[in-house]
Amino acid sequence: MEAGIVGLPNVGKSTLFNALTAAGIPSENYPFCTIEPNVGVVAVPDQRLGEIQAHIPTEKVVPAILRLVDIAGLVKGASEGEGLGNKFLSHIREVDAILHVVRCFEGEITHVDGSVDPIRDIETIETELILADLQAVGSAKDKAARLTRSGDKDAKAKVAFLEKIEAHLDEGKPARQMEFADPEDRKTLKSLQLITAKKVLYVANVGEDDLTGESELVERVRQRAAEEGGEVVPVCGQLEAELAELDEADRAEMLESVGLEEPALAVLARGTYRTLGLQSYFTAGPKEIRAWTVPIGATAPEAAGVIHTDFQRGFIRVEVYSVDDLEELKSEKAIREAGRMRVEGKSYSMRDGDVCHFLFNV
């Protein structure tokens, strides 16, 4: 799972990235301090791993992974090369989701547009991403049009499809808001790697006096996200930067002192999962307890394939129970004796929190 962190310069992207990854990327108070896309890999916090380990001793615990890409601040005209331009737009095309950081605090840090206005900032970024997608669609349409002259029927259909997308983008609407009756059209759209087709999670960077995001600035972002069917996660980048420098005990004490239960990574990871429609299941044994990420609705063979493609091809059945079952009954032996160890076949749809033993032919 990979997410790209985007936003205007000086909204707190690199501060947040540093806090999440402890990578030490510069985050000074000037635009474009990020001049290469910085990549960090972080473990997704999940207390259920500890709950499993409490009842199943193991050699190691392996959490799910979130890959974060911090991309240089985009400005008005980025699609035409302003600021650091298209060089960085290409990096966003490769991620699964976009974390759009929006400044929702006043202060001395210079704003590239001279004032704090989160909706204006969102629209600036979205306009540039739409313009970049229009360029990509235009290039693809020209290429397909050339193929139609040689009588390629598939190319003719592709031109019509691209013209439909182009008209939608021309209206200032992101590609993710398009609706398709044919599932194949959705697959074709995905193959184009349009930036605005990606799901967006808004990250409201708040001040230390508004940790839960109750300010009017954050509320405006919530209203915008609600109109899009999206979500907002309030995060105080400055606080998270301070937390990142503490050991675990001091971090817990500081979180408690400010009334928070967990650091931003856990909140952002869950928000990203919801945005992408993902869930976790677990495998557990004496060698390893591991979290695996699958789409909501994934079947048991598809979940097995995340571990290894051979598991999916040779899938026979899966023995499955929930973390809640383990918490209640304390052991797999007790779960079996209570009749709570279920045996499921190829049609089984995975549930969040399943603990699985897959049986398969090699």
CB 216 within 8 A of CB 254: no
Helices (H), ranges, the chain: 13-21, 47-55, 86-92, 118-148, 153-170, 183-191, 216-228, 237-244, 248-257, 264-276, 300-307, 309-313, 323-329, 332-337
Does 44 count as an annotated binding residue? no
Phi, psi of 141 (to 5 degrees): -70, -40
115 is in an annotated binding site: no
Are the C-beta atoms of 99 and 119 separated by less than 8 Å?
A: no
What's phi and psi for 39, nearest 5 deg?
A: -120, 130
How many other CB atoms sit within 10 Å of the CB of residue 288? 12
C-alpha–C-alpha distance, residues 169 and 9, integer Å:
25
Closest CA to 310 of 359, 271, 348, 265: 359
Q: Is 15 annotated as a binding residue?
A: yes
| CA nearest neighbour of 18 among 143, 283, 205, 172 | 205
Contact present, 3 and 68 (Cβ < 8 Å):
yes
333 is annotated as contributing to ligand binding: no
- 13 is annotated as contributing to ligand binding: yes
b/e for 88-122, b at 16 or more Cβ within 10 A? Answer: bbebbbebbbbbbbbbbbeeeeebbeeebbbeebb
Q: Cα–chain-centroid distance for residue 143? A: 32
Establish whether 86 is an annotated binding residue: no
- Whole-angstrom distance, CA of residue 221 vs CA of residue 259: 23
Per the annotation, binding residues for ATP are 10-15
Per the annotation, binding residues are 10-15
